[in-house]
Structure 1
Amino acid sequence: MTQQIVITTASVFGMLSVIFGAFGAHLLKKVLSDEQLKSFETGVKYQMYHAIVLLILGFNSNTITSSIYWCFTIGILLFSFSIYGLILSSAKGKKLRFLGPITPLGGLLLVMGWFLLLVNFWQ
């Protein structure tokens, strides 16, 4: 994985988490319940945390492997974006239930990314 790809991915995810966070704080606050808003914010936080990790790893490119990169990238997409889809579809009255099982798969990939980072560090 090239440094340019990792830093670009991290930057896009970071930028989108700020946009989605502002969207949630200002526009969705009027539409979502407190519980829904908290779930939406969880997606935003996890997206930002992992964007920052990707950014750090991108600047220290000898630390990141393609496995770590893909676990974090796909994990963010499955975890955070499924939460966004579940919450927004629920607010519209048509909850996309098929997204429910996708969220834990994304979480598992995020955990796997951290595990691979640990293994990579100790090798």
Structure 2
Amino acid sequence: MGALSVALGAFAAHKLREMTSPETVAIFETGVRYQFYHVFALLFVAFLSDKIHNKWMIWSGNCFIMGIVLFCGSLYALTALAIAESTHRTLAGIMTPVGGVFFILGWLFLYVGVSKRDR
């Protein structure tokens, strides 16, 4: 996921700017930025899971992955639809806040997982 976010960021910086408006590039770059942030969150969960074994840590990692797929993926889809000049953006637009909720849940589950660790 980290390599993909770097590749997508490079694409946005070098090619996407030639293809669409600055507003659409900003949407895409938001997806890349959130994907990259949550790669570090996933690494953090992975390292902590070695020491803290509970369902909350698993749920946290799963929610971060779902957030990347839904939040970031929907922003990438909205960008593709804007380039294609499609007016069918509703489903992709609906997925963005759903993905955001998964990110929030991932952070909350991470907190609960750490606070409920075996002492």
Using structure 1 for the length normalisation, give the TM-score: 0.84
- SS of 1:54's partner is helix
Q: Which has the larger Rg?
A: 2
* Match of residue 41, structure 1, among 29, 33, 45: 29
Gaps in structure 1 of 5+ consecutive residues: 1-12
Code of the aligned partner of 1:51: V
Compute the displacement of 1:121 (Å).
Answer: 1.9
Matched with 2:112 is 119
Q: How many equivalent residue pairs?
A: 111
Mapping for residues 77-96 of structure 1, pairs under 5 Å = 77-96=69-88
Segment of structure 1 superposing worse, 88-97 or 16-25? 88-97
Compute the displacement of 1:17 (Å).
Answer: 0.3
Alignment of 1:22 onto 2:47: no
Gaps in structure 2 of 5+ consecutive residues: none
Matched with 1:6 is none
Whole-angstrom distance in 1 between the partners of 2:111 and 2:47: 18
Code of the aligned partner of 1:102: M
Runs of 4+ in 1 over 4 A off after TM superposition: none
- SS of 2:85's partner is coil
Whole-angstrom distance in 1 between the partners of 2:44 and 2:88: 34
Deviation track 1:13-51 (CA, whole Å, cap 9, x = no partner) reads: 101100100111111011121111111100000000001
Using structure 2 for the length normalisation, give the TM-score: 0.86
Code of the aligned partner of 2:108: F
Sequence identity (%): 40
Compute the displacement of 1:59 (Å).
Answer: 2.3
Whole-angstrom distance in 2 between the partners of 1:95 and 1:17: 27
